[in-house]
Amino acid sequence: VLIDIEGKHEWRDCIDVPGVRLPRGYYFGTSSVTGDLSDNHDIISLKLYQLTVERTPEEEKRDREVYLPVVDNLRLPGMEAPLEPMSGLALFLIVFFSLVALVFAIVIGVIIYNKWQEQSRKHFY
């Protein structure tokens, strides 16, 4: 993707992702949202050009069969490898300590409730 911000036909690289195959008949959209930060921008115009390049018959066939956007060898953050399942020991320890914490919370709650009941009985009117 090349951009010409001032309209002087001086094109600069904006983004370059090799191996992108886009389907035909879709629309392009623009957004100023870039993660946690966003800003207001006025988009005056958007011109899209299809480059004429020589392709092999295999590339032509492959591009005609694209129904969803595809990027070859794209590695997204957090998509490196599937997580391994937890071992039986890890699962047991998580359940055990969760139950201990729950019992501890219940005991503390009963103690606080009893203290509150004692305080409410000691009121002199």
pLDDT at 34: 64
User: Residue 19 in contact with residue 73, Cβ under 8 Å?
Assistant: yes
pLDDT at 16: 72
pLDDT at 30: 75
> CA 80 to CA 27: how far, in whole Å?
30
Phi, psi of 36, deg, nearest 5:
-75, -20
Long-range CB contacts (within 8 A, 24+) of 2-7: none
pLDDT at 123: 64
The residue count of the chain comes to 125
Mean pLDDT, contiguous 10-residue spans, the chain (125 residues):
77 76 71 66 72 75 69 64 80 95 97 88 65
pLDDT at 102: 97
pLDDT at 45: 73
